[in-house]
Chains A and B, each alone.
Chain A
Amino acid sequence: TQLLEQSPQFLSIQEGENLTVYCNSSSVFSSLQWYRQEPGEGPVLLVTVVTGGEVKKLKRLTFQFGDARKDSSLHITAAQPGDTGLYLCAGALSINSGYALNFGKGTSLLVTP
């Protein structure tokens, strides 16, 4: 069961533009993570947000966790072609002796020069 809804599903922009990707759920998560996946490779962890209202910055990427820990957003400033990829959000749910991740379907981003 997919608990996380990501929007938009596809995004094509030009270099230099700003964009925001959303990740929404009706469930509360222990934490929420953002991964980036390039074609032919596995997802790579970008950031983890744990506290409601938390904001984290990674160079031109800004991640925010909703106050109620049900949603998150990823904002990219001045996008570059190297930002192209599939962005996945994942919510952590407690399971036996650990956590399972519930992934959204992803936002496919294409940045053209």
Chain B
Amino acid sequence: NAGVTQTPKFQVLKTGQSMTLQCAQDMNHNSMYWYRQDPGMGLRLIYYSASEGTTDKGEVPNGYNVSRLNKREFSLRLESAAPSQTSVYFCASSELSYEQYFGPGTRLTVT
């Protein structure tokens, strides 16, 4: 059972480039989330999707867009990457409850 998978694991971008982070879960969960983790800042919510077909902004949504492609997949897009978006990105899923299951993360560096 894979749980939550994320691709890629590592990525280096130049300022202004775009990319999409992929996330998939095989637990049939309704809700999915994107977080970023920065040193000394903890985990902060970027966007979430309470159910298929809905998305909402979290605490730090500026510079990001999301797509809930289907019940399994939730992608995060950076249209024009900035150095401030250098971070570790985590996807998580949950089944209507508060217990979330996290993927292994994507380490993104923007130069």
Contacts and interface: CB of A to CB of B under 8 A. Distances in A.
A42 B54 CA distance: 25
Interface stretch (B35-43, B64-72, B76-84): B35-43
B101 A100 contact: no
B105 A41 contact: yes
B94 to A, nearest CB: 7
B103 interface: yes
B51 interface: yes
Nearest to A97: B50
Given A96-B56, A97-B50, A105 B42 contact: yes
Given A41-B105, A42-B102, A42-B105, A97 B51 contact: yes
Interface residues of A, number: 27
B98 A31 contact: yes
Interface in A15-52: 30-31, 33, 35, 40-45, 48
Interface string A69-113: 000000000000000000010101001111111011110000000
Interface in B76-111: 90, 92, 94, 96-105
Contacts of B59: 1
Contacts of B40: 105
Contacts of A96: 50, 54, 56
Size bracket of the B interface: 20 to 34
A110 B61 CA distance: 33
Contacts of A41: 104-105
Contact of A95 (B50, B97, B102, B103): B50
Interface of B: 4, 30-31, 33, 40-45, 48, 50-51, 54, 56, 58-59, 90, 92, 94, 96-105
Given A97-B31, A101-B100, A103-B43, 9 more contacts: A2-B42, A33-B98, A45-B101, A48-B99, A96-B56, A99-B94, A99-B97, A100-B33, A101-B45
Interface of A: 1-2, 30-31, 33, 35, 40-45, 48, 88, 90, 92, 95-101, 103-106
